[in-house]
Amino acid sequence: MKRCASVTTTLLLGLAFSSAAMAVTTEDAIKYRKSVMAAQQWHMLAMGAMVKGDTPYDKADFERRAESVAHLNKMFMEGFTVAGADKGESRAKPEVWATMEKFKGGAEKLGVESAKLVQAAQSGDMKAIKTQYGDVQGVCKGCHDSFQRKER
């Protein structure tokens, strides 16, 4: 019985310390969301170059990048939901938090449109790819216009 209590105590202490080590600061949240969005932009720019014909179209690369954008979209909201995430050095407008449901709606729309881009990429149909890429880009622009300051 003492051994069981000792193991339980050790496990609980370990959990408590690991939770404390995982405490996220405002700065961490801002760095995280900036990083996720920078990665999304990285992939969007590379796909855009292919769509425009500035770089050769590579079906496998385009598909991988579309999948990355779709996956990253599932991640970035975390950086906006941390307590204090509305403070600190950021281009996010106060409207993000004042109209969080609208902001989340934009993220959900981006999720839907980026999933469609993955499907278009898998098809290899350049007309469908160009159309859907434009739709994803439009969702990004709409959100940035509404929720991002142009300058700090």
Partners of residue 33 on adjacent β-strands: none
Domains assigned to the chain:
25-147 (1.20.120.10)
Grouping H, G, I as helix, E, B as strand and the rest as coil, residue 56 is coil
pTM equals 0.82
Three-state DSSP class for residue 148 = strand
In whole angstroms, give the CA distance from residue 7 to residue 78: 33
> Cα dist. 115→119, 139, 144 in Å?
7, 13, 20
Per-residue pLDDT of the chain (152 residues; tens, 9 = 90+): 555 545 444 444 444 443 444 578 999 999 999 999 999 999 999 999 999 999 999 999 999 999 999 999 999 899 999 888 898 889 999 999 999 999 999 999 999 999 999 999 999 999 999 999 999 999 999 999 999 998 75
* 65: its two tokens: 């990048």
